[in-house]
Amino acid sequence: MARAKSPRNGNTRNKQVATAPRVNPAPQVKKNSSPLDLEAEIRRRAYELYEQRGRTPGYENEDWLVAESEIRARYNPQQSA
């Protein structure tokens, strides 16, 4: 009966590779982003503001305007000064 092949170095155990823990990197600022990307970021930030306020309805426009000014200032820092 034929024997099973083994690695040439004689080590038959699988070696585990160490991996670094996943870390969420800081958002990258893109200077040439499309309007859809900006709108999605503004929408996410406005929702964060809504949640921070305790999900109180009636401040949608204010949340959107604050989020929009924050996101646009991040992409155009010279215009926000």
Q: Global pTM? A: 0.54
Provide the pLDDT for residue 77: 76
CA separation for the pair 35, 61 (Å, rounded): 19
Residue pLDDT, tens place only, 19-75: 555 554 445 555 555 777 999 999 999 999 999 999 999 999 999 999 999 999 998
Provide the pLDDT for residue 48: 97
